[in-house]
Amino acid sequence: MEPTYKTTQKREGKTAKTIEEQTAKIPSDVFLWASIGAMTTALILQLSRQKHMSLFIGQWAAPFLLFGIYNKLVKQHGHDKTENQ
């Protein structure tokens, strides 16, 4: 017996749609290169003994990659597929 799930269809808000439309315009490479840039800058700062700034900049690598994943998902799936049905 398969579980039954209550399917409630919720729509995206106006803000989410706007963000998705804008981020879909950005090439996915931008986020990858931003992440690599953050890691490289952090390494250079670490080598120049600016530890606090290095840690601050280095922490941006993961969010840039997550933005890239979000960007890719928006491009592949778009926003709320139920809206046009």
User: Is-above-0.75 flag for pTM?
Assistant: no
53 Cβ partners below 8 Å, 6+ apart?
Answer: 45
Report the C-alpha gap between 30 and 16 in whole angstroms: 21
Per-domain boundaries in the chain: 28-78
**pLDDT tens digits, one per residue of 2-11:** 655 555 556 6
Q: What is the pLDDT of residue 37?
A: 95
**pLDDT tens digits, one per residue of 10-68:** 666 788 778 777 777 888 889 899 999 999 999 999 999 999 999 999 999 999 999 88
Alpha helices, DSSP H, located in the chain: 14-23, 28-47, 51-58, 61-77
